[in-house]
Structure 1
Amino acid sequence: MPETAHTAHDVPTVTTDADTWRRAGRRLLAHMVGEMAYEEMVVPEPAPDRDGTGSPSWTLAVDGGVAYGFTARRGGFGSWHVDPDSFVRVTGDGEEPAWDPTLFVTDAQGTVGLPGDSLAEVVRDLMATHAADARLLTASLDAADLADLAYEDLEGYQTGHPCIFVNKGRLGFSAADAARYTPEARGAFRLVWIAVHPDLGRFQSMAGTDRPHLLAEELDADQRAVFADAVRERGGDPDAYLWLPVHPFQWDEVVAPLFASEIALGQVVRLGESRDRYRPFQSIRTLMNLDRPDRLNVKVPLMIRNTLVWRGLSGTQTGCAPHTSAWLRALADRDPFLTGTGVVMLAERASATVPHPVFDQLPQAPYRFHELLGAIWREPVHNHLAPGERARTMACLLLEGADGRALVTELVERSGLDAQEWLRRFLGALFPPVLHYLYRYGASFTPHGENVVVVSDSAEAPVRIALKDFGSDVELLPFDLPEYAELPDHVRDVLHRWKPEELAHSVLSAICAGHLRFLADIVERQLGVPGERLWQLAREQVLDYQARFPELEERFAWFDLLAPEVGRVALNREQLMGGGFHERAERDAEFDVMHGLVDNPLAQP
């Protein structure tokens, strides 16, 4: 039976089953080669039919006369969909089944152009990702059971960022940490609450959410009283101190040792643990409340490095979160078109920022030392659902069960709809609000699979979406539009400003290259809907929007979502060849690494 959010788990820290380890390795190897080929880090060549099935066969020559053979399907946006079970490694001594991602990357070091220090980092990340993938395989469920899971539980079966193959590196976590604090552990833990002297921290919130109101929502009255006494015992005023939750890992690894002086002087007071238990979303540092799902999600910093960056919380962007949320929410509430889409903007209602007293005076310190302590409180999707509605992150649509069936296949079957009609409704919920924010308001976020929540009716037909993550991922045009006037000056001054063709990648890369190019292969294999048809349905959404708002014609040209070719965002190139950006004093504020152009399937009539 599917688990509930209250099921306890005894998760092993390592996988001891050899078959599971090899199966996970084959899948990771297929993911790696597919994304490397997509980003043109490697260039496979056509080969004779390997297995007699007629599947397109490919050979990839790497270093020292070694080659890899496999079958793969091509798709929109230049994508590669590699069959994990088809890999063989070919040497002068013959060929053998291939399943080891670290062997591949060492075989291909010269071909890819990885320097030795980068290669070591990649191998470490691959090993950690391989271990996490094996843990996921050990507890995999059939598609029907996945479809039955609650929102909180389904997060624990996700496979990670589809575009980045080393997507579970989590540098800083021990094996025990990974078995406790990762989504695939599907466990539960309590947060550490602290109180910070008012001279050290700053609180920001949307209108209607002050500190007492927030704490009354998040903590029971008797626990607030106990916590207040703890502040008084250290000589502080509990009403003046800033209270915030801390991840237990961050308390042990960062706050206790690096804020030791402030703790000793009573400027940081450990209040105790939360009564409620939490579990991470895929982003790891964002946590859901298992015991009170109506309480706010909490985003907290973690000094771990995963998928490109250290996962702290930027004080500047954290401070902006409630203000950008207020603006985006106000637009959704009063714009008739947005209101009609039913889009839910999961507002980041409040945030706390606590710079380190010493590191804050060291501007050249790597950015992770400026992102040690803080919190963002975000609305949970549960509070916005009508009776009978179900919510799942869009990323779930890429899941395939232990029985080989995709979750989306199960949902289409349950809905009773024709597959194309189900996809049309899904895209009709997804595109209009994202397009309207981009075209009408010159604003983009990052609507990738984890930041879009698909809301379905009781029959499992998609009806609308919810969007989240406005603290760090809201971007504007480099010139001011009249629509920006409601943003406070201090917020408008610090949000990223990108050229229109870069802002367009909120659709082209986050949605199309980052999600639909994978979904297109699934619906073709399992639902009998050609991948080209999915792209046609997506194109129809863009054309329908443009027909409805002809007055925005100039802006349609700015973003040019239907251009024949578009730039290829190359996240793995950035990850593997970032040139030490992990150690910079500032996060990389430049646009994502781009490599060449790809055909845009949205351009095809």
Structure 2
Amino acid sequence: MPETAQTAHEDASTATTDADTWRRAGRRLLAHMIGEMAYEEMVLPRPGPGDDAWTLAVDGGVAYAFTARRGGFGSWHVDPGSLTRTTDRGREPAWDPTLFVTDAQKTVGLPGDSLAEVVRDLMATHAADARLTAASPGAAALADLPYEDLEGYQTGHPCIFVNKGRLGFSAADAARYTPEARGAFHLVWIAVHPDLGRFQAMAGTDRAGLLEGELDADQRAAFAERIRERGGDPDAYLWLPVHPFQWDEVVAPLFASEIALGRLVRLGHSRDRYRPFQSIRTLMNLDRPDRLNVKVPLMIRNTLVWRGLSGTQTGCAPHTSTWLRDLAGRDAFFSETGVAMLAERASATVPHPVFDQMPQAPYRFHELLGTIWREPIHHHLAPGERARTMACLLLEGADGRALVTELVERSGLGAEEWLRRFLGALFPPVLHYLYRYGASFTPHGENVVLVFDADEAPVRIALKDFGSDVELLPFDLPEYAEIPDHVRAVLHRWKPEELAHSVLSAICAGHLRFLADIVQRQLGVPGDRLWELAREQVLAYQERFPELAERFAWFDLLAPKVGRVALNREQLMGGGFHERAERDAEFDVMHGLVDNPLAAPEAGR
């Protein structure tokens, strides 16, 4: 049974008041931080005495020393237990991320206001990591967890070290609404006047049918009566769920006029309990897992952006889902891969009546209220299959054993064969959308769901998040003709070499460069061999579809060197982009080139 909010709060307090847990979490976060800053060349470690030994000189004569393994894409994997800090007072173990960032302020080039923001984010991330450290079970127990429960042990975006800052959450909010709290809460349902909101849906989904699937009949009747009591028509009003944090912090105070006038009606709480995925604003139904996942806005800032819902992108979600699903449904190669597209079946957008007339207001004020209803993975599993997000392959249990190690052992397959099957499930559908249809999304660890057979061998994938992350080429392809004009006009358009980063950065730099280190340490498969297996998938696809040779050249996934996406530089040096009127629609910040491990070895010579 899910933990109550009170239990989660007590567990959080225990985790963050235990000194040993706090230091262990801090060492891991500091190691992650130094590794990613070195990867993005924000700091430049120098070789130290001994194998894999490195030193890093920072401000004021302070130096950090550690051991680290190097890997594909120029990555750094720092051993947390090896970290030391040396000053004129001597050497001591290093475990404090905030001390490091203040030590390295001038070295990194952080202005004072940015440093304060980084420290705030680091403290919140450290606290969340301490909760995870205190509660983490061993690998075997992780492998036994259902899909919904495993989400509560994920460690966040692997490329961004301040990945749980959640500006706007109080300590109580963090103990109630975060994935690592592993709690449960009820959503607030509201109804809005028809001229306030807009509903969009895929064919076969309408408002009445959606509500029948999401709410029991007696609750629908009770909610309808509340709308009538406020003088509204239940069939005309748009019903949607709201996160309880968002109701309290945003909707109740900022839509107070609409509430007073009966144009926005609070209907009551959901009967079902919900829990967040790692993305926090996307929620799963714990009591009825077959009911739709919901994605709702939150007035919090986490990683790079405020976590609202763009009205434009939310409005596109059912249309892009329709296009991607239709392609998968009629293309024989997609059928061969078994890919499932977790369609965003419907969405609701509710602009704020006043802020909507203020185009220069920071973008978070334009993303206050709305919902996306997404199919859950449970709709797509055959008997005997089970699902986990791809991110879980980077988890290591409290016993030091990686979850992927446990899964390989249970499968009865050799490690290399298991990895070949994993990559064979992952690459073909993503490559086909990119090469054949000129479409990319962001298939990072949380947006790819791995489907395993009864023996724990990966057999196929499901893909999700088509509201905000579908991108097209800057010129129209014939394959784009089925996308409605109003949708095609607002989707992001990126150059081919940028679109290629849906594979190069989201999958390779964002996931495989971390997995390569784990499989080398725990499965005895050299990191270079994992990259060879990945390259085999790209080459096999290209051999299968020689007629797409021109497009292979456009995207050039096998180039000897590729651009390095530098998400932490963007986060730390953003220059006020959080306050802009529009989300940053430009491509991610890039910094220099790295050797591409997908390229043939001789290609980089």
For the superposition of Structure 1 and Structure 2, which TM-score range results when normalised by the shorter chain? Answer: over 0.9
Taking the TM superposition and a 5 Å limit, the aligned residue runs for 1:144-183 are 144-183=140-179
Report the alpha carbon displacement of residue 207 of structure 1 after superposing the two structures with TM: 0.2
**Counterpart pick for 1:412 among 405, 408, 412:** 408
2: CA distance between counterparts of 1:545 and 1:604? 16
**Counterpart pick for 1:552 among 548, 552, 555:** 548
2: CA distance between counterparts of 1:498 and 1:534? 29
1: CA distance between counterparts of 2:587 and 2:4? 42
Taking the TM superposition and a 5 Å limit, the aligned residue runs for 1:233-248 are 233-248=229-244
Task: Say if 2:204 is the partner of 1:208.
Answer: yes
Report the alpha carbon displacement of residue 6 of structure 1 after superposing the two structures with TM: 7.0
What is the aligned-residue identity percentage?
Answer: 88
2: CA distance between counterparts of 1:547 and 1:135? 48
1:602 maps to amino acid: L
Q: Is the 8 A contact 1:5 1:152 kept in 2?
A: no
Report the alpha carbon displacement of residue 383 of structure 1 after superposing the two structures with TM: 1.0
Taking the TM superposition and a 5 Å limit, the aligned residue runs for 1:230-309 are 230-309=226-305
Report the alpha carbon displacement of residue 5 of structure 1 after superposing the two structures with TM: 4.7
| SS of equivalent to 1:232 | helix
1:36 counterpart residue number: 37
1:430 counterpart residue number: 426
2:481 maps to amino acid: A
Report the alpha carbon displacement of residue 94 of structure 1 after superposing the two structures with TM: 1.2
2:9 counterpart residue number: 11
Structure 1 unaligned runs (5+)?
Answer: none
2: CA distance between counterparts of 1:304 and 1:223? 30
1:137 maps to amino acid: T
Q: Is the 8 A contact 2:191 2:266 kept in 1?
A: yes
2:108 counterpart residue number: 112
2: CA distance between counterparts of 1:126 and 1:81? 19
1:547 maps to amino acid: E
| SS of equivalent to 1:417 | coil
Kindly provide the CA deviation profile for residues 16-51 of structure 1, in whole angstroms up to 9, marking residues without a partner as x: 1000000000000000000000000000000002xx
Task: Say if 2:28 is the partner of 1:27.
Answer: yes
Task: Say if 2:448 is the partner of 1:448.
Answer: no
1: CA distance between counterparts of 2:443 and 2:29? 24
1:48 maps to amino acid: P
The CA RMSD over aligned residues, in Å, is 0.8
Report the alpha carbon displacement of residue 127 of structure 1 after superposing the two structures with TM: 0.1
2:308 counterpart residue number: 312
Q: Is the 8 A contact 1:279 1:290 kept in 2?
A: yes
Kindly provide the CA deviation profile for residues 355-407 of structure 1, in whole angstroms up to 9, marking residues without a partner as x: 00000000000000000000000000011000010100000000000000000
Q: Is the 8 A contact 2:8 2:176 kept in 1?
A: no
1: CA distance between counterparts of 2:580 and 2:184? 34
Q: TM-score, normalized by length of structure 2?
A: 0.98
Structure 2 unaligned runs (5+)?
Answer: none
Judged with a 3 Å threshold, the aligned counterparts in structure 2 of structure 1 residues 5 and 467 are, in CA distance, closer, same or farther, namely: farther
Task: Say if 2:458 is the partner of 1:457.
Answer: no
2:188 counterpart residue number: 192
| SS of equivalent to 1:72 | strand
2: CA distance between counterparts of 1:7 and 1:150? 18
Report the alpha carbon displacement of residue 111 of structure 1 after superposing the two structures with TM: 0.2
Kindly provide the CA deviation profile for residues 537-572 of structure 1, in whole angstroms up to 9, marking residues without a partner as x: 000000000000000000000000000000000000
Q: Is the 8 A contact 1:570 1:594 kept in 2?
A: yes
Q: Is the 8 A contact 1:443 1:474 kept in 2?
A: yes
| SS of equivalent to 1:121 | helix
1: CA distance between counterparts of 2:522 and 2:4? 32
1:44 maps to amino acid: P
1: CA distance between counterparts of 2:263 and 2:338? 45
2:495 counterpart residue number: 499
2:317 counterpart residue number: 321
Taking the TM superposition and a 5 Å limit, the aligned residue runs for 1:495-574 are 495-574=491-570
2: CA distance between counterparts of 1:588 and 1:11? 35
1: CA distance between counterparts of 2:125 and 2:293? 26
2: CA distance between counterparts of 1:498 and 1:474? 11
2:37 maps to amino acid: M
2: CA distance between counterparts of 1:188 and 1:435? 37
Kindly provide the CA deviation profile for residues 433-492 of structure 1, in whole angstroms up to 9, marking residues without a partner as x: 000000000000000000000000000000000000000000000000000000000000
Q: Is the 8 A contact 1:567 1:597 kept in 2?
A: yes
Report the alpha carbon displacement of residue 329 of structure 1 after superposing the two structures with TM: 0.3
Task: Say if 2:348 is the partner of 1:347.
Answer: no
| SS of equivalent to 1:11 | helix
Kindly provide the CA deviation profile for residues 226-284 of structure 1, in whole angstroms up to 9, marking residues without a partner as x: 00000000000000000000000000000000000000000000000000000000000
Q: Is the 8 A contact 1:6 1:290 kept in 2?
A: no
1:11 maps to amino acid: H
Kindly provide the CA deviation profile for residues 118-175 of structure 1, in whole angstroms up to 9, marking residues without a partner as x: 0000000000000000000111100000000000000000000000000000000000
1:78 counterpart residue number: 74
Number of paired residues?
597
1: CA distance between counterparts of 2:82 and 2:372? 45
1:218 counterpart residue number: 214
2: CA distance between counterparts of 1:480 and 1:277? 44
2: CA distance between counterparts of 1:302 and 1:540? 41
Taking the TM superposition and a 5 Å limit, the aligned residue runs for 1:95-106 are 95-106=91-102
Taking the TM superposition and a 5 Å limit, the aligned residue runs for 1:55-94 are 56-94=52-90
Q: Is the 8 A contact 1:192 1:251 kept in 2?
A: yes
| SS of equivalent to 1:295 | coil
1:361 counterpart residue number: 357
2: CA distance between counterparts of 1:163 and 1:137? 19
Report the alpha carbon displacement of residue 93 of structure 1 after superposing the two structures with TM: 1.6
1:18 maps to amino acid: A
Task: Say if 2:576 is the partner of 1:580.
Answer: yes
| SS of equivalent to 1:156 | helix
Q: Is the 8 A contact 1:77 1:601 kept in 2?
A: yes
Q: Is the 8 A contact 2:8 2:182 kept in 1?
A: no
Report the alpha carbon displacement of residue 7 of structure 1 after superposing the two structures with TM: 7.4
Kindly provide the CA deviation profile for residues 57-90 of structure 1, in whole angstroms up to 9, marking residues without a partner as x: 0000000000000000000000000000101001
2: CA distance between counterparts of 1:504 and 1:5? 40
Report the alpha carbon displacement of residue 92 of structure 1 after superposing the two structures with TM: 1.3
Q: Is the 8 A contact 1:286 1:300 kept in 2?
A: yes
Q: TM-score, normalized by length of structure 1?
A: 0.98
Q: Is the 8 A contact 2:201 2:318 kept in 1?
A: yes
